[in-house]
Amino acid sequence: MKITLDKTKTIELHDLPKVSLNELFARKHWRERKKLNDTFALLVRSQIKEIIDYPCDVEYEFWFKSRALDCSNCTAMVKMIEDSIFPVDSNKIVRSIKITSLKRNDDIVFIKIIRA
């Protein structure tokens, strides 16, 4: 389904696995990384149905119920989410990203998509 927006859309994703970039830098075997990426894609696509195919800026606000990751360690999750939401994630579509990481009573990510 293709969507059109006025200017901004917010997406909520719940209970995604917490994956640190450090975890991937630990030279995890490619089969484990593929399984993790497939799991993310399945979870993200089960919670959203939209395809974003227009130029935009994206803000990711991660909330963790235990030990919040620092912002830069959230980039592994950002990439897996981005690959699920944007059929083409080139710089012509995703122009910029902003990442925030905070503590809360549940695991959730709010994704704000701002049409460029």
Question: Which strand ranges, in their side-by-side order, compose the sheet holding 8-14?
Answer: 8-14, 108-115, 56-64, 94-103
pLDDT tens readout for residues 22-57:
877 777 788 888 888 899 889 998 998 788 899 999
Question: Mean per-residue pLDDT for 97-105?
Answer: 94
- Kindly state the tokens that stand for 39: 């799991």
Residue ranges and CATH numbers for the domains of the chain are: 8-115 (3.30.1330.70)
**Number of Cβ atoms within 10 Å of the Cβ of 45:** 11
Quote the pTM value: 0.86
Q: Please give the Cα distance from 58 to 50 (Å, whole number).
A: 15
> How much of the chain is helix, strand and coil, in % rounded to 5?
35, 30, 35
pLDDT tens readout for residues 53-100:
999 999 999 999 988 999 999 999 999 999 999 988 889 999 999 999
Q: Please give the Cα distance from 70 to 62 (Å, whole number).
A: 10
